[in-house]
Amino acid sequence: MNFPHDYQATAAAGTDGNIALSVPHAGEIASHAPSEFGGPGDQWSPEDLLVGAVADCFVLSFRAISSMSKYDWSNLRCEVSGTLDKVDRNIQFTGFQLKATLVIPAGADASRAQRLLEKAEATCFITNSLKAETHLATDIQTE
């Protein structure tokens, strides 16, 4: 892979209502402020998108690492909770709690799965780009 990679996104809106988010290669999605900031609470918000990006990047990182490591698994679910708080009069995310539930075949090496999950957390470039801390909790289950 050659770096750097550049990504583009567009947000367009009028004076009220939804924000139309788009990228050149995918469909448009609607966004709005969350209910905590006076929005309707029934659309994706920037906060939701960031927390979702953390979860998505973790799963994609694990998928790539496990593939390179030739480690077989069946299913991975990553639930992420992000904390938005005030720090020195600025509002920012102060932490992300990741709960990864991995299903592996019977007889598979669970300690290796744990190491790969930890490596996925360490290499996720979304969380590596944020100043908030991440904490990973894991649950490894066998089929």
The per-residue pLDDT for range 102-121, each reduced to its tens digit, is: 999 999 999 999 999 999 99
Give the model's confidence band at 132: pLDDT under 50 very low, under 70 low, under 90 confident, else very high. very high
Quick check: bond before 34 cis, omega within 30? no
pLDDT of residue 1: 80
Q: Does pLDDT of 125 surpass 90? A: yes
How would you list the strands of the sheet with 75-87, edge to edge?
75-87, 90-104, 133-142
- 3-state helix, strand, coil split of the chain in percent (to 5) is 30, 35, 30
CB 137 within 8 A of CB 97: yes
**Distance from C-alpha of 56 to C-alpha of 51, rounded to nearest angstrom:** 9
pLDDT of residue 104: 98
pLDDT of residue 4: 94
pLDDT of residue 55: 97
Average pLDDT score over the chain: 96
- Residue range 12-30: mean pLDDT, rounded: 94
Q: Does pLDDT of 28 surpass 90? A: yes
DSSP states of 89-108 as a string?
A: TEEEEEEEEEEEEEEE-TT-
pLDDT, one tens digit per residue, over 40-57 is: 999 999 999 999 999 999
